[in-house]
Amino acid sequence: MSSDSALPLPQNPVIVGFGGVGVDLLATVESFPKPDTKNRTTQLKVQGGGNTGNALTCAARLGLKPRIISKVANDAQGRALMEELEAEGVDTSSFVVSKEGTTPFSYIIIDNNTKTRTCIFTEGYPPLVPENLSRTRLLSALNGARLAYFDVRMPATALVIAQEAFRQNISILVDAERPREGLNDLLDLADYVVCSQNFPQAWTETSSIPRALVSIILRLPRLKFVIATLGKDGCIMLQKCADEDSQLEEVDIDNSLKSLTMRKDDSIAIPTCIASNVAKFRAEGIGSVCGRLYFGTSEKIPPSELIDTTGAGDAFVGAVLYAICANLLPEKMLPFASHVAAAKCRSLGARSGLPYRTDPYLASFIN
């Protein structure tokens, strides 16, 4: 493969992630089982999982050099999980390995008919607490890192790591799936937030996602951008301007998003991005933010190619981690991340379909 067709390597590709890793037991069935019945699987796979494990595996395949801080037990699942990560180029030297206990795992049922997945998660034991993580190990993990990622698991330890990253001027990205214990403390330190579709309104108690994004930016003054992923409906991003311009037009953010979505071309199957002009985006009763609003479309995956959505959000985040390190503009980042997520959805499990940086189709999104 010619290097010209591969993704460029960022000047500093080192990132650190802290949070969930585990083992996924994935079973596909013709239809989701009814209570008190027996079903046969059509396919079974055992694979590494967890938000942090998946997102940083994605980042490694795209050319970054991830390090993970997490905890597993010294059992067969824990050993296999670390071996899998190491084979992908993820540095596991900062893992804490418990002599006893169990490694986290999930049962995941994929419905072949509806293309939905249902997860049943079992936490690992014992959990990682700040006392398990020596300062020497922490400083070694953060040394020279460009970016730190948190999925808001094990919040007490996450905050210790985030505070040290903050002191070292390492940018912080928080992956906010849902309101969790310790989330607010991490968000206060965040430079970037990527969140699920339901999170913005749940966290801000506002009437729409765009209004919620304004509220998030106002509540977290360190933020450079916030992205809400919408599954098959794409994603929305609000980027804050560095400097406030009093001459800018003030516009309603809900109406602005409607204008952007009306400009999408439904005949285009690949992901695209539609951007607003710089403006003051107003959310009535909340306030206004100077910035740009982006609407990213998702890839239209033919039904025959859609296999499993497990980990699609993690793949999107992994691509965003790469994009930040590579200094990609949002117009490039959002379609790129959506395509990486779509590639994942064409295989069973959170990691099998993750693309590598040598995939020429990836480079076409950022060149």
| Residues forming a β-bridge with 250 | 280
Answer yes or no: are the C-beta atoms of 13 and 60 closer than 8 Å: no
Residue 193 has what pLDDT?
Answer: 98
Answer yes or no: are the C-beta atoms of 80 and 105 closer than 8 Å: no
Residue 167 has what pLDDT?
Answer: 98
Q: pLDDT tens-digit profile of 165-202?
A: 999 999 999 999 999 999 999 999 999 999 999 999 99
Backbone CA torsion sign across 138, 224, 197, 64: negative
Burial, 192: exposed, middle or buried (Cβ in 10 Å; 0-12, 13-18, 19+)?
buried
Answer yes or no: are the C-beta atoms of 108 and 26 closer than 8 Å: yes
Residue 244 has what pLDDT?
Answer: 65
Q: Where does the pLDDT of residue 1 fall: very low under 50, low under 70, confident under 90, or very high at 90 and above?
A: very low
Q: pLDDT tens-digit profile of 56-99?
A: 999 999 999 999 999 999 999 999 999 999 999 999 999 999 99
The answer to whether residue 367 sits within a structural domain is no
Q: In the chain, what are the helix, strand and coil shares in percent, each to the nearest 5?
A: 35, 25, 40
CA–CA separation, 115 and 146 (whole Å): 37
CA–CA separation, 81 and 103 (whole Å): 9
> Looking at the chain, how many residues does it have?
367
The conformation of residue 188, written as its DSSP 8-state character, comes to T
The answer to whether residue 27 sits within a structural domain is yes
Q: pLDDT tens-digit profile of 19-68?
A: 999 999 999 999 999 999 999 999 999 999 999 999 999 999 999 999 99
Q: pLDDT tens-digit profile of 101-159?
A: 999 999 999 999 998 999 999 999 999 999 999 999 999 999 999 999 999 999 999 99
Angle between helix 155-167 and helix 135-142 axes, rounded to 10 deg:
60
The answer to whether residue 3 sits within a structural domain is no
The answer to whether residue 362 sits within a structural domain is no
Residue 243 has what pLDDT?
Answer: 67
Residue 21 sits in a domain whose CATH number is 3.40.1190.20
The answer to whether residue 308 sits within a structural domain is yes
Q: Tokens standing for 136? A: 């020497």
Taking the CA of residue 233 as centre, how many other CA atoms within 13 Å lie in the half-sphere pointing to its CB? 7
Q: pLDDT tens-digit profile of 210-245?
A: 999 999 999 999 999 999 999 999 999 999 997 666
Count the domains in the chain.
1
The answer to whether residue 98 sits within a structural domain is yes
Q: Tokens standing for 338? A: 């959506």
Residue 106 has what pLDDT?
Answer: 95
Residue 367 has what pLDDT?
Answer: 82
The answer to whether residue 163 sits within a structural domain is yes
Answer yes or no: are the C-beta atoms of 163 and 135 closer than 8 Å: no
CA–CA separation, 10 and 169 (whole Å): 18
Residue 246 has what pLDDT?
Answer: 67
Residue 258 has what pLDDT?
Answer: 97
Q: pLDDT tens-digit profile of 273-326?
A: 999 999 999 999 999 999 999 999 999 999 999 999 999 999 999 999 999 999
SS3 at position 48: strand
The answer to whether residue 295 sits within a structural domain is yes
Residue 245 has what pLDDT?
Answer: 64
Give phi and psi for 292, each to the nearest 5. Answer: -125, 145
Answer yes or no: are the C-beta atoms of 172 and 162 closer than 8 Å: yes
CA–CA separation, 340 and 358 (whole Å): 13
SS3 at position 142: helix
CA-to-CA dists, residue 69 to 129, 137, 141, 168, 240, angstroms: 12, 9, 8, 17, 30
Residue 131 has what pLDDT?
Answer: 96
Residue 304 has what pLDDT?
Answer: 94
Residue 138 structural domain: 14-353
2 pLDDT above the threshold of 60 = no
CA–CA separation, 224 and 191 (whole Å): 6
